[in-house]
Structure 1
């Protein structure tokens, strides 16, 4: 296993990391895993134009999960980037974005289901097309959550990493094509023991007429010890007073 991540470290705001493990989520597929407190993922768009739909649940109590509304209103934002954190519905911080070469990730656009994908791309089933089948993001995430005893009712609003959706003055959402380039990356640090589920299916608002998902690489590394916490001067922690309170609530859970 290599001790550094060569392609990503060329970016000026991605620090050197000592790799624990790495994997590629192929285009149009899905992945899930338990990511321990203090672990971080470097997530890389390998080809450009990727979308990574993601949901997060606390491992010890799967009823506690990422909450989009609290995440946005606590930080007064409609997009996510370096310095932002992801809140649960209990007012705790489940993950933090500690580095980002892209500058904008979409928390608003949701995830496409089977009906939407059939209208946009037609249908290609596994029986006839094998690995070239069309997989939609909603079913992909539900399949991953099912491995941990969860179901469709547990699928909450997701984050779409690598995608940008602009909000017009009238509230309309507009997908921004070609937002993410090959090699774009961000670091996501986990502040709780987290069940993470990912899908690389296209964004539901992507206007591209062809089904053209892209692969994403995950590189795991240790940001801090599992029995420690983010330091007091951590930029995500000090970004706003709400974040400081969120980290305090999280640290008390592990005290």
Structure 2
């Protein structure tokens, strides 16, 4: 980021090299700016004010859907509504849905056109993106953790294996949806991102119906898929914030 600003500054200096500057007027303008700055009072906002600002500009509708999906997944296992075999399939579908909703909350900024105001005095899109990714991730992981614990208690499932079975669809769905959002067509069309989430959830619902996937011999493949998915997601996030800083991700409208 620093190098980018230095390059821009160098371009301005080269372009203004032939411009004749009145030294007296330059000094007068500088003195006027310094006097004005000295008379102004700059008050730093508290962290709570920062959080309130983020909550004000976020998309509340997707947050409501996300909360409903989290509570639905927890209640699904808490109420003993399904047996062990059905739980494996339902949990993977719900996990994929939570992964899609986590990315969809961030993607909503691009569909609303908020990113056009990046680096203005009213919005900081990087800050808002990080905030939404943080709280949506916490919501989803909390729901997945509670579901894993309840499943291990009520359905007498191994807590480690259950956690892996739930996390893999969540991470892979996030990778798929984030990969779509990194493309221009994915940021311009909300339906493309929704379709990617539905496809991923449907894909995992098919895999969940295969009993061989839950054998002990297949556990190593689940662990490998989880580690690979987390690695890909970290790289995608790094790339996402890099192109966001460069201004390559802008208003989609």
Normalising to structure 1: TM-score of the pair? Answer: 0.20
Larger RCO, structure (CA 8 Å, separation 6 or more): 1
> If each structure's strand is expressed as a fraction of its own residues, which one has the higher value?
1
Q: Of Structure 1 and Structure 2, which has the larger fraction of its residues in helix?
A: 2
Which structure has the greater CA radius of gyration?
2
TM-score, scaled to structure 2 = 0.20
